Chain A
Amino acid sequence: MATREFTLPDVGEGVAEGTLEAWLVSEGDQVSEDQPLAEVETDKALVDVPSPVDGTIERLHAEAGDVVPVGDVIVTFELDAGESGAGTQASSEPEAPADEAGADGSEPEPAPDPDPEPGPAEAPAGGNGTAEAAGSSSSSSGRVFAAPSTRRLARELGVDIAAVEGTGPGGRVTEADVRRAAGDEESSSSGEPATAETAATDTDDGTVTVTAGDDGAARAAERPPGDTVASPAVESANRDRTLAAPATRRVAEEESVDIDAVPAVEQRDGEPFVTADAVREYAEKQRQAQAADATALATGEGETVDTDADTDTDTVAEPELETSDASDASATEREEREPYGGVRRTIGEQMERSKYTAPHVTHHDEVDVTALVETREELKGVAEERGVRLTYVPFVMKACVAALKQFPYLNAQLDEENEEIVTKRYYNLGVATATDAGLMVPVVDGVDRKGLLEVARETNELVEQARDRRIDREKMRGGSFTVTNVGGIGGEYATPIVNYPEVAILALGEVRKKPRVVETDDGDEIRPRHVLPLSLSFDHRVVDGAMGARFTNAVMEYLRNPDLLLLE
Chain B
Amino acid sequence: MVVGDIETGTEVAVVGAGPAGYVAAIRAGQLGLDVTLVEKDAWGGTCLNYGCIPSKALITAADLAHEAGDAEHMGIHADPAVDLSATVDWKDGVVDRLTGGVEKLCKANGVELVEGRAEFADDSRLRVVHGGDGQGAETLVFEHAVVATGSRPIEIPGFDFNDGPVLDSRQALALESVPDRLVVVGAGYIGMELSTAFAKLGSDVTVVEMLEDVLPGYEDDVARVVRERAREVGVDFRFGYTAAGWESTEDGIRVTADPAEEVAADGGTAVDADPDIDTDADAEPIALAADKTMVAVGRQPVTDTLNLEAAGVETDDRGFVETDHRTTTSVDGIHAVGDVAGEPMLAHAGSAEGQVAAEVIAGEPAALDHQAVPAAVFTDPEVGTVGLTAAEAREEGFEPAVGEFPFRSSGRALTTDEDGGFVRIVADEDTGFVLGGQVVGPEASELIAEVGLAVEMGATLEDLASTVHTHPTLSEAVMEAAEHAVGEAIHTLNR
Residues of A within 8 A of B (CB): 3, 5, 71-73, 76, 88-91, 93-107, 109-124, 132, 134-138, 140-141, 143-148, 151-152, 155-156, 158, 168-173, 205-207, 209
Q: Determine if B398 and A103 form an interchain contact, defined as CB atoms under 8 angstroms apart.
A: no
Q: Which 5 A-B pairs have the closest CB atoms?
A: A119-B342, A140-B397, A101-B188, A112-B298, A119-B343
- Do the beta carbons of B169 and A120 come within 8 Å of each other? no
Most B CB within 10 A of own CB, among A104, A147, A171? A104
The verdict on A95 contacting B389 (CB below 8 Å), with A100-B169, A137-B428 known, is yes
Task: Assess the A104–B156 pair: CB atoms within 8 A.
Answer: yes
Given A103-B297, A105-B260, A107-B157: A97 in contact with B210 (beta carbons within 8 A) = no
Q: Which of A121, A132, A137, A156 contacts B430 (CB 8 A)?
A: A137
* Contact A118-B169, Cβ < 8 Å, known A103-B187, A148-B457, A209-B367: no
- Tell me the dominant secondary structure on chain A's binding face: loop
Q: Is B462 interfacial (CB 8 A cutoff)?
A: yes
Chain B residue with the shortest CB-CB distance to A128: B395
- Does the CB pair A147–B460 fall under 8 Å? no
Given contacts A120-B320, A145-B433, contact A93 B373 (CB under 8 A): yes
Q: How far is the CA of A124 from the CA of B435 in the complex (A)?
A: 21
Is the C-beta of B375 less than 8 angstroms from some C-beta in chain A?
yes
B396 touches A (CB below 8 Å): yes
Asked if B242 CB lies within 8 Å of chain A CBs, one says yes
Residue of B371, B385, B392, B432 with most partner-chain A CB within 10 A: B371
Q: How far is the CA of A147 from the CA of B372 in the complex (A)?
A: 12
Beyond A116-B344, A209-B367, whether A122 also contacts B373 by CB under 8 A is: yes
Contacts A101-B215, A101-B216, A107-B154 given; does A141 touch B397 at CB 8 Å: yes
Is there contact, CB below 8 Å, between A100 and B336?
Answer: no
A155-B367 in contact (CB<8A): yes
A121 CB contact (under 8 Å) in B189, B208, B342, B365: B342
Give the A-binding residues of B (Cβ under 8 A): 153-157, 169, 185-191, 208-211, 214-218, 241-243, 260-262, 295-300, 316-327, 336-337, 341-346, 349, 353, 365-375, 377, 385-389, 392, 396-399, 428, 430-433, 435-436, 438, 456-458, 460, 462-463
Q: Would you give the shortest CB distance from A135 to chain B, in whole angstroms?
A: 7
Main secondary structure of the interface of B (DSSP, over half): loop
Give the docked Cα–Cα distance between A211 and B404 (Å): 39
* Residue pair B318, A110 in contact (C-beta under 8 Å): yes
Given known A-B contacts A121-B341, A137-B430, A206-B325, A104 and B457 have beta carbons under 8 A apart: no
Q: B215–A97 contact, CB under 8 A?
A: yes
* Chain B residues closer than 8 Å to A123, beta-carbon distance: 325
What residues of chain A lie closer than 8 Å to B210, measured between beta carbons?
A: 101-105
Report B-chain residues with C-beta under 8 Å of the C-beta of A89: 369, 371
B366 & A109 in contact (Cβ 8 Å cutoff): no
Query: Are A156 and B365 in touch, CB under 8 angstroms?
Result: yes
Distance between Cα atoms of A146 and B456 in the complex (Å) = 7
Is A147 touching B457 in the complex (CB atoms < 8 A)?
yes
A104 and B428 alpha carbons, distance in the complex (Å): 38
* Alpha-carbon separation in the docked complex, A464 to B130 (Å): 64
19 CB contacts below 8 A, A to B, read A90-B368, A93-B349, A93-B375, A94-B388, A94-B389, A94-B392, A96-B344, A100-B190, A100-B297, A103-B297, A120-B323, A122-B342, A141-B397, A145-B433, A147-B456, A148-B370, A148-B457, A173-B458, A209-B325
Docked Cα-Cα span, A158 to B365, in Å, equals 8
The residue in A121, A137, A146 that gathers the most chain B C-beta atoms within 10 A of its C-beta is A121
Contact yes or no, A137 B397, CB < 8 A: yes
Q: A95-B387, A100-B169 are in contact. List 16 more A-B contacts (CB 8 A).
A: A91-B372, A95-B374, A95-B389, A97-B188, A98-B215, A101-B214, A103-B191, A109-B155, A109-B300, A111-B298, A143-B396, A144-B458, A168-B458, A169-B462, A170-B458, A209-B325
Q: Are A141 and B323 in contact (CB under 8 A)?
A: no
| C-alpha gap A136/B399 in the complex (Å) | 10
- With A91-B369, A107-B156, A145-B458 as contacts: A140 and B398 at CB distance below 8 Å: yes
A96 and B346 contact, CB distance less than 8 A: yes
Decide: A172 near B458, CB < 8 A? Known: A112-B154, A122-B368, A138-B430.
yes
Contacts of A120 in B (CB 8 A): 316, 320-323, 341-342
Asked if residues B458 and A155 are in contact (CB atoms below 8 Å), the reply is: no
Query: Does B396 contact A88, Cβ atoms closer than 8 Å?
Result: no
* Minimum distance in angstroms from A448 CB to a CB of chain B: 49
- With the chains together, A171 CA to B300 CA distance in Å? 41
Give the docked Cα–Cα distance between A207 and B296 (Å).
33
User: Closest approach, in angstroms, between the C-beta of B242 and any C-beta of chain A?
Assistant: 5
Are A148 and B456 in contact, with the CB atoms below 8 A? yes
B396-A140 in contact (CB<8A): yes
A110–B190 Cα distance when bound, in Å, is 18
